[in-house]
Amino acid sequence: MTTPYPFSAVVGLDDLRLALLLTSVSPAVGGVLVRGEKGTAKSTVVRALASLLPPVTVVRGCRFACDPAAPDPDCPDGPHAADTPAMYRPATLVELPVGATEDRVVGTLDIQRALADGVKAYEPGLLAAAHRGVLYVDEVNLLPDHLVDLLLDAAAMGRAHVERDGVSVKHAARFLLVGTMNPEEGEPRPQLVDRFGLVVTVAAPRDAGQRAEVVRRRLAYEADPAAFATRFAADEREYAARIAAARAVLPTVVLPDEELDRIARICLAYGVDGMRADIVVARCAVAMAAWHGRDRVTATDVADAARLALPHRRRTDPLDPPGTDEEKLDRALDEAERQAQEEQGGDDPDGGPDGGPDGDGGGPAGGPPPGGPQGDGGGAPAPADDGDGDAPRGSGPAADPAQAGAAFRPRTLRISERGEGGHTGKRSPAYARRGRVVGSRKPVGKLAGAPHLPATLRAALDRNALQETRTPGRRVVEPRDLREAIHVGREANLVLFVVDASGSMAARKRMTLVKTAVLSLLRDAYQRRDRIGMITFRGSDADVVLPPTSSHEVGVMRLAALRTGGRTPLAAGLRAAARTIATERRRDPRRRPLLVVVTDGRATSGPDPLLLAPALAGVSAVVVDCESGPIRLGLARRLAAALRADVMPLEQLEAVAGRVAPAASVERAYRRAA
């Protein structure tokens, strides 16, 4: 459909719409990250925003959208003369696909033209196309980290720097950056989330009337997009006029010292790291005042800006559950207001008692009222473990799950064979688009990576040596001489945990060590950008408690809820692992699996687990031996030999300062956490 859905026709999503409008007024706020479940109109709202932005005047023929009134002095298409023709066009909306490469984002050398015509030609990327418009990144959490770094650096500096393939180019790249993501697909790194100015979490309406109105409007839009857009044309014009007016007044808005002090107090009380939070809140508060037509920032502006800019900045552990902490933010706002009132009371001869009528109700006015108690927040306490750990699994109460201790840095588990580099990551060696150069090859079709210049010159010299007898003195480099570099880097894998949850593992201290080890491996998988899955076996069967996913937070929650007891169907666990890996290979054949079996090797239920080894042939595996005590049967080592897997005792999994730490360090960590 060519007619976009009107921005003003969106039902609800007040925080999201406000955040987008504020960044439209002041792109220096730093962009917006939108988190929400599928089907919550994230993409619809973002695409509707572009039509509200004021049109731009550009130099005709400039691929970098230079402003005729102030052309970019570093523009690769410049310099532009004062009398260069100009043109008027709408602000652009550039969408970055998930599969985009670095060349497509920043641009690169047109190597074929360079070889054919002998000129250094630069082909601009999406950053140039998005200049003075909107750059929309759907599923930003699925982008490779280095691409997200490029986007955020360009958005923060307002310029793109290209230093690659013999090209050194700088050009302006000021755009409104908006990213959307579904948390079910996995969380991006907290360092990257912190680089976004504002983060908004959206959800589907919980009111039946609102849901019905959403469907009613969507059906009307699909039936006649033009007529539907006409219904909201007046509202759209009003939004566009307010954005233009707010941009005009933005440079004149004053941020008083008392409000700047308030921002600093809020950030200190909220416990954020670094200074980015203070800067973003200040910029957002100024944009908030401009949006409301004020020439001076107020406490209300600061409070509303803090609610959009701060909640996502408290995550200090990458596996902490994501989401805002409204209660903590309310306390920070209250504390900042109390301190402001105390300072004012010291200078006021009529200073009354602290927390007067204006102080009641949770801090500065204008913010949403504090939410009520969360119905799903805590959950009932787990039942006490008053039964035998080897009790069969049934419908009755399960054993009390042991809690994991403090996570440690585990030894790196890798697939030794070199892969094809299907997914960029930090675990196993693989051929990749980036990394150490180990050779060259003739490209198939268009150049897929960086050119290998020495190999290209050698190929040209070899060919010229053969042709020089026919054409003396002819030495040229032709496109057929082109060679591309072969890089070896790291790839991300599917790390599939198969965890023994039977009665033999049910001793509280022992299961605590196992959960601590698995938690540490989960964190390691998060940092290396792996997909993860988890299978547990106990009683008479195995359960796929976590199908392969990028959401490591879900893995942590499933691990915390893991219960133990019953017999040990080790064969069932291996069979479930073989089925899961086969399914994932059909879905994504380029992602290699790494099987991590956490067990003591005992099998008291089902067939001999060694008979299942052929079903996992060719799968790289590691067996974490959980057997303990002075007398050990070595069953886990027998299993590792059948699987052709590496074996690692549980007490040797932790790596500390380059050496192996004893199991006692894990136990001490658990005692400290408890």
Cα–Cα nearest to 440, from 488, 492, 491 = 488
pLDDT at 284: 93
The pLDDT score that the predictor gives to residue 351 is 42
pLDDT at 83 over 90: no
Q: Is the pLDDT of residue 593 over 60?
A: yes
**pLDDT greater than 90 at residue 665:** no
Q: Could you tell me which of 93, 122, 88 has the C-alpha nearest to residue 106?
A: 122
β-bridge mates for residue 659, sequence order:
656
pLDDT at 517 over 80: yes
Give the pLDDT confidence score for residue 638 in this predicted structure.
93
How far apart are the C-alpha atoms of 403 and 243, rounded to whole Å? Answer: 52
What is the average pLDDT across 341-357? 50
Q: Report residue 81 as tokens.
A: 């003369």
pLDDT at residue 440 is higher than 90: no
597-634: per-residue pLDDT in tens? 999 998 988 899 999 889 999 899 999 998 887 778 88
Whole-number pLDDT of residue 215? 92
**pLDDT score recorded for residue 658:** 35
pLDDT band at 206 (very low <50, low <70, confident <90, very high): confident
Task: Tell me the range of 190-199, 203-212, 613-622 where mean pLDDT is highest.
Answer: 613-622
Query: Tell me: the pLDDT tens digits for 214-240?
Result: 999 999 999 998 999 999 999 999 999
Instruction: Check residue 297 and give its pLDDT.
Output: 93
Cα 384 to Cα 13, 212, 401, 416, 515: the distances in Å are: 43, 45, 9, 44, 19
477 CB neighbour count, 10 Å cutoff: 19
The pTM assigned to this predicted structure is: 0.64
- pLDDT computed for residue 621 by the predictor: 94
* Mean predicted confidence (pLDDT) in 331-339: 76
Alpha-carbon 617 to chain mean position: 34
Is the CATH number of domain 7-55+90-250 3.40.1190.20?
A: no
Residue 575 pLDDT > 90, yes or no? yes
- The pLDDT of residue 360 is 39
Q: Which of 104, 113, 159, 276 is catalytic?
A: 276
One-letter amino acid at 332 equals A
Binned at pLDDT 50, 70 and 90, residue 296 comes out as very high
pLDDT band at 653 (very low <50, low <70, confident <90, very high): confident
Q: What are phi and psi of 485, to 5 degrees?
A: -75, 145
The per-residue pLDDT for 459 is: 81
Least confident of 207-216, 365-374, 600-609: 365-374
Of residues 135 and 391, more confidence is placed in 135
- What's the mean pLDDT when you consider all of the chain? 78
Summarize the confidence of residues 578-589 as an average pLDDT.
Answer: 93
Provide the residue type at 117 as one letter: D
Determine if residue 250 is left, alpha or beta; phi over 0 gives left, psi from -120 to 50 gives alpha, anything else beta.
alpha
What does the angle CA 188 – CA 194 – CA 200 come to, to the nearest 5 degrees? 80
* CB of 108 closer than 8 Å to CB of 101: no
pLDDT value at position 388? Answer: 35
**461-485 pLDDT, tens digit each:** 777 665 554 555 555 677 788 888 8
Q: Would you call 276 a catalytic residue per the annotation? A: yes
What integer pLDDT is reported at residue 475 of this predicted model? 57
The answer to whether domain 7-55+90-250 and domain 493-673 are alike in fold is yes
Is 90 exceeded by the pLDDT of residue 583? yes
Specify the range with the lowest mean pLDDT, choosing from 45-59, 321-335, 465-479: 465-479
369: pLDDT strictly greater than 60 = no
Provide the CATH topology of domain 253-346: Helicase, Ruva Protein; domain 3 (1.10.8)
Describe the chain by its helix, strand, coil percentages, rounded to 5: 40, 20, 40
Q: Look at residue 507 in the predicted model and tell me its pLDDT.
A: 63
Q: What is the pLDDT of residue 320?
A: 59
Per-residue pLDDT at 175 exceeds 70 = yes
Second-level CATH architecture of 493-673: 3-Layer(aba) Sandwich (3.40)
Residue 149's pLDDT band (boundaries 50, 70, 90)? confident
Smallest CA-to-CA distance from 240 within 49, 93, 46, 95 is with: 49
Segments making up each domain of the chain, as ranges? 7-55+90-250, 253-346, 431-490, 493-673
Which of 100, 99, 96, 64 is CA-nearest to residue 79? 64
- Rounded to 10 degrees, the C-alpha dihedral 437/439/442/446 comes to -10
Q: Is the pLDDT of residue 279 over 80?
A: yes
Range from 138-152, 248-262, 370-384 carrying the lowest mean pLDDT: 370-384
